[in-house]
Chain A
Amino acid sequence: MKNKINIYLTEFSINSILRQKSKNIFIIFVFTTLIFLLSSVMFISGSIKSELNTLVDSLPQIIVQKLQAGRHSNIKSSSVDDILQIAGVTRAEARVWGYYYFKNAGVNFSVMGVDMFEPQLTTELEKIVDKVDFHQLEQNSSMIIGRGVKLTMVENYYSDYFNFIISDGSLKQVKIAGVFKSSTNLESNDMILLPKSIALEIFGMDESEATDIVVSVANPVEIPMIRAKLNLLFPDCRIVTNEDLKVSYQNIFDYKSGVFLALFIISLFTFFIIIYDKASGLSSSQKREIGILKAIGWKIDDILKEKFYEGFIISFTSFVLGILFSLFFVFFLQAPLLRDLFIGYSQLKPTFDLPYVMDYQTIFLLFFLTVPIYLSATIIPSWRAATLDADEVMR
């Protein structure tokens, strides 16, 4: 029964907290805000990162891009035949994609050309597109667009079709056949999907050219080998694998959370100043309190226990409150101001729901970074005072 919580001691610590109400309320406020801000940013970045990492696996494993004079340039679509000769390659496809700058709104649309006649594509599109007009699609002169694109086009009075300005200055009218479902908004917001022939026309590219080649590999163990073979086959090309993409994502989020962390250092300092203030010594009244407690017969053990309860009540309550608020802020309110940190500032902002991902590692990290430090800052000075003689402390 030795380790049982002493109710009288808890009662004493609550009274002790209430005696210094304003100071303790301030500590709880700073502590809660600190936990709230840190965990909010970590929740947002964790949520977006998990989204990226789950989706990168459904991409083709290797992308082959031609570089000319250090820049990306168009590759010959006939290179596909050479790539298919490599053992282990299940599929290689020349793609036509790029960006279309829409001057009126000042945004870049991503334009992707696909073969609209593949039967597999039709069934896939049925799943991800709202109200798709397949009749129009079959006429080969229409496109499927993302929600953000649709919104921008409607704002500029293009509700049924859009006029692309092609390289010779003439207009290419393309009808809108459907809009991607809002559940894919995070990925499809700026996307325009249209037949390959139209994409070639808009970009002013030749039939024999492609933007890049995607290569699917059945066995992931073979990817480095195939990459090496591709490097030998096309010395002028850059071979990007899924692993490279993951590294790139890691860098982005390290950076984005880092920017916030830099701003956050100020509040972290406030916290440490409070801790320092507490740890550097007790005020004379607090010291006298410890002395009186010793004089009336409290053991050092009891005093430390009481101080521990005091610190624990404050730090644990603030920690739980911080996590509670940040979960509410991020996943219920969808992080109103903070998520702009992770979004660009163009007009084509995606509206999306942050998927709920619980990163327990982060929570434990935050817990062990703050709560034990606070506890030690309360206990150590009281231990120093409590080990002295009662009359010496009171004097």
Chain B
Amino acid sequence: MKKKSFYLFNIMVVTLGLLMAEMLYLQVFSPLTAEDLENKKTYMQVVALPDLALANEAMFIRHRSLTATFELFPDSPALVEYFPSTFTYKYSNTLFLTPNRITVEK
């Protein structure tokens, strides 16, 4: 094998090996252990509120899935929708009893 091909081969093997090692490491030492998951599930059973605590700048953001169908004036009529996350809430398709995406995919 020529010198440069040999180097190239080694570089490829090393990068691929690094990728594998990284994936294996994350798989084994994942930040989310089985105990953590169990804790989370217990928490969900106690509190029973959906959605994550990712956004809470306005009251219609967290548990967005539980607020009113069309949140146009949730705080006051003068408030326009301005948080990017407020635009994300779309009413469920099942509201009009058409099959939704998830049920169709199943």
Interface positions of A (Cβ within 8 A of B): 7-8, 10-11, 14-15, 18, 48, 51-52, 54-56, 58-60, 63, 65, 67, 70-72, 95, 97, 99, 101, 107-110, 112, 114, 121, 124-125, 127-128, 146, 148, 180-181, 183-191, 193, 212, 214, 238, 240-241, 243-252, 255-256, 259, 313, 316-317, 320-321, 323-324, 327-328, 331, 342-346, 348, 350, 353-356, 358
Contact = CB atoms under 8 A, between A and B. Distances in A.
B94 interface: yes
Contacts of A51: 52
A127 B89 contact: no
Interface residues on B, range: 35 or more
A342 B59 CA distance: 17
B10 interface: no
A328 B23 CA distance: 10
Interface in B13-67: 15-16, 18-19, 22-23, 26-27, 30-32, 35-59, 61-67
A275 to B, nearest CB: 23
A245 B65 CA distance: 6
B5 A11 contact: yes
B2 A11 contact: yes
B54 A342 contact: yes
A65 B56 contact: no
Contacts of B26: 327, 331, 356, 358
A241 B92 CA distance: 10
A194 to B, nearest CB: 12
B49 to A, nearest CB: 7
Contacts of A10: 5, 8
14 contacts: A48-B54, A51-B52, A55-B40, A60-B48, A65-B66, A127-B38, A127-B42, A128-B46, A148-B53, A187-B44, A252-B88, A255-B88, A356-B26, A356-B27
Given A191-B47, A252-B85, A255-B87, 20 more contacts: A7-B2, A18-B4, A48-B54, A58-B45, A99-B62, A121-B46, A180-B43, A183-B36, A187-B52, A193-B46, A214-B48, A240-B66, A244-B92, A245-B50, A321-B15, A324-B19, A324-B22, A327-B23, A355-B31, A358-B26
| Across the A-B interface, the 8 shortest Cβ-Cβ residue pairs | A344-B55, A353-B31, A355-B32, A189-B53, A346-B57, A183-B36, A244-B92, A248-B65
